[in-house]
Amino acid sequence: MAWMRRGVGLVTVAALGLAGCGADLEPEPERTPAGAPSPTAGRQFAPGAAGVGDAYFPSYGNGGYDVGRYAVKVRYDPAADRLTGTATVQATATADLSAFHLDLAGLTVREVTVDGAPARHAREADELVVTPAAGLAAGNGFTAEISYEGRPEPLRTEVLGEGGWLHTDDGAIALGQPESASTWFPVNDHPSDKATYDIEITVPKGLTAVSNGVPKGRSDAGGWTTWKWSEAAPMASYLSTVVIGDYRVTTGEHKGRPVFSAVSSTLGKGAADASMARTTEVADYLESVFGPYPFAAYGGVVVADDRIRYALETQSRPVYGAGFFRGGENTGVVAHELAHQWFGNSVSLAKWQDIWLNEGLATYAEWLWAEHRGTGTAQAAFDGRYAVSSSRVWQTPPAEPGRANLFSESVYQRGGMTVHALRVAVGDPAFFRILKTWAAEKRNANATTAEFVALAERVSGKQLDSLFDAWLRGTDRPPAPKRL
Ligand code: TRP
Ligand code: ZN
């Protein structure tokens, strides 16, 4: 799998198209029934910001509200490459809002309602600006319903690979990190705003439509099949996925949870199927080192489209490019993507700069899995990389990689080496307590590098700032790890 992570052609994100912040929108006067005292009298209602303030991706997400649940219903006709959808966004205002943004790339919005009343809507680049009939008071819940349609297009601002909705030979694949969701539904597209999801996908009868979480059944009507999926644990938007096409589906149950895997029918039955079949075995091993599996379903999807040359840890059901299995069964990549279910998905980033927290721990999980299987120790994996890593790796601090190096070898391999240096410094009992405590305390939450360092110090009782400084922020090769 390392072959996919090394030497990926990294595209520098030249222009992120910083969206306007809706300053041209006048705050609407609040309306209340005649004679009723206004609960919002005297308050200043203003438009929510067009981004959450991520230093690397200023236009991602939006300000002024927090989403609790998305219900997304899409119908996709692969022959026409057309999508029609309705998204119900249940949110709570965190500021007094006269208007708010959602991220939406391409597509045409037909209608927006807020709490059942028609709302004005406008587009500014990849932003949808909604102006409800009445202001939304901080602390209050509201429900926005958006109907939309069009020909979905992938995003061109992604850092690695193509992000977003891809039309394939037999259907579509919606996938990508750090963004993809806004190409198929209106969303607060930043991992700091996690929400639950109910997703329904209607496709021509005969095609499979896979998404996140627990399968909730399917129904046929008039030559179409609707597939229902539910992710009841909070999920970051980039972890949402839809895969439509001709797939070989395997279902089952493990530890009382549904298992649903799918492999593209264009692949002969073989290594991809065998690797997916080992998903629960790998998850059980990871559970022994990270603590309880965090989600209500298991599975994986193997896609055959050439453009998907990577795997992504889409929640409860990672998506793998077929290339990972060309050389035979590959449980290393399965261990990597499943490790993200704990680190990345359950414990999520608060800002993209902290990506090493996801990738360093997932890389280390591959080393732990190899150690567990007896195919090589984590120490040997560390030693190999420590010896051969290029000056680029040592010059790029994993905790300050810069936007263009978000998925670089420094983040993955030096990130993994950082975790190993921690293990050597504190010893195995404290190290595994740190991993389990991190997963437990930050379950379903967002977390930062500073919090990880603080927790590692608290659990181990050791001062670790110089170790983490050297490994995460230094621009030279750190000294070989030693027991503190
Ligand atoms: N996070 C993915 C992994 O480590 C790799 C990845 C980075 C990716 N950027 C992506 C996958 C974009 C899909 C699309 O497994
Ligand atoms: Zn990863």
Ligand 2 centre to CA of 323 (Å) is: 16
The 10s digit of each residue's pLDDT in 205-240 is: 999 999 999 999 999 999 999 999 999 999 999 999
Ligand 1 centre to CA of 394 (Å) is: 22
Q: Is the CB of 103 under 6 A from ligand 1?
A: no
Q: Which atom of ligand 1 is nearest to the CA of 158?
A: 12
Question: Which residue puts its alpha carbon closest to atom 11 of ligand 1?
Answer: 312
SS3 state at 280: helix
Question: Which residue puts its alpha carbon closest to atom 5 of ligand 1?
Answer: 312
- Of the pLDDT bands very low, low, confident and very high (cuts 50, 70, 90), residue 14 is very low
19-33, 270-284, 362-376: which has the minimum mean pLDDT? 19-33
Instruction: Name the residue of 310, 334, 337 whose CB sits within 8 Å of the most ligand 1 atoms, as the mutation to test its pocket.
Output: 310
Question: Which residue puts its alpha carbon closest to atom 3 of ligand 1?
Answer: 312
Q: Is the CB of 310 under 6 A from ligand 1?
A: yes
Ligand 1 centre to CA of 111 (Å) is: 34
Ligand 1 centre to CA of 98 (Å) is: 37
DSSP string, 239-258: G--EEEE-EEEEEEEETTEE
- Of the pLDDT bands very low, low, confident and very high (cuts 50, 70, 90), residue 42 is confident
- Of the pLDDT bands very low, low, confident and very high (cuts 50, 70, 90), residue 19 is very low
Q: Is the CB of 160 under 6 A from ligand 1?
A: yes
The 10s digit of each residue's pLDDT in 93-120 is: 999 999 999 999 999 999 999 999 999 9
Residue with tokens 């690695």: 160
Give the C-alpha distances (Å, rounded to integers) separating 30 from 11, 122, 134, 396.
Answer: 46, 20, 5, 51
- Of the pLDDT bands very low, low, confident and very high (cuts 50, 70, 90), residue 320 is very high
State residue 156's pLDDT score: 80
DSSP string, 175-236: E-SS--GGGTS-B--STTS-EEEEEEEEEETT-EEE-SSEEEEEEEETTEEEEEEEEEEEE-
Asked if residue 191 has a cis previous peptide bond (ω within 30° of 0), the answer is no
148-162, 206-220, 353-367: which has the minimum mean pLDDT? 148-162
Ligand 2 is an ion; residues with CB less than 5 A from it: 359, 362
Give the C-alpha distances (Å, rounded to integers) separating 149 from 106, 107, 183, 243.
Answer: 9, 6, 11, 18
The 10s digit of each residue's pLDDT in 165-214 is: 999 999 999 999 999 999 999 999 999 999 999 999 999 999 999 999 99
Q: Using a pLDDT cut of 70, give the percent of the chain over it.
A: 90
Instruction: Name the residue of 160, 183, 336, 364 whose CB sits within 8 Å of the most ligand 1 atoms, as the mutation to test its pocket.
Output: 160
Higher pLDDT, 72 or 162: 72
Q: Which alpha helices (H) appear in 96-204, and where do they start and end?
A: none
SS3 state at 362: helix
Mean pLDDT of 470-475: 98
Q: How far apart are CA 227 and CA 213, in angstroms?
A: 12
Q: How far apart are CA 356 and CA 397, in angstroms?
A: 10
Beta bridge mates, 300 = 261
The 10s digit of each residue's pLDDT in 431-447 is: 999 999 999 999 999 99
Give the C-alpha distances (Å, rounded to integers) separating 287 from 138, 258, 295, 342, 440.
Answer: 40, 17, 12, 9, 12
Q: How far apart are CA 328 and CA 366, in angstroms?
A: 17
Q: How far apart are CA 80 and CA 76, in angstroms?
A: 9
Q: How far apart are CA 123 and CA 20, in angstroms?
A: 10
The 10s digit of each residue's pLDDT in 372-382 is: 999 999 999 99
Q: Is the CB of 301 under 6 A from ligand 1?
A: no
State residue 317's pLDDT score: 99
Q: How far apart are CA 182 and CA 126, in angstroms?
A: 8
User: In the structure encoding, which two tokens stand for residue 144, read together?
Assistant: 């926005």
Q: Is the CB of 407 under 6 A from ligand 1?
A: yes
State residue 126's pLDDT score: 95
Query: Would the pLDDT of 347 be above 80?
Result: yes
Mean pLDDT of 304-333: 97
Question: Which residue puts its alpha carbon closest to atom 1 of ligand 1?
Answer: 312
- Of the pLDDT bands very low, low, confident and very high (cuts 50, 70, 90), residue 43 is confident
State residue 324's pLDDT score: 98
| Residue 58: exposure state from Cβ atoms within 10 A (0-12, 13-18, ≥19) | middle
The 10s digit of each residue's pLDDT in 396-418 is: 999 999 999 999 999 999 999 99
Q: Is the CB of 313 under 6 A from ligand 1?
A: yes
State residue 28's pLDDT score: 39
Ligand 2 centre to CA of 3 (Å) is: 13
Query: Would the pLDDT of 9 be above 60?
Result: no
Q: How far apart are CA 76 and CA 162, in angstroms?
A: 20
DSSP string, 379-426: HHHHHHHHHH--HHHHHS-TTS--GGGTTSHIIIIIHHHHHHHHHHHH
Number of neighbours of residue 18 by Cβ within 10 angstroms: 12
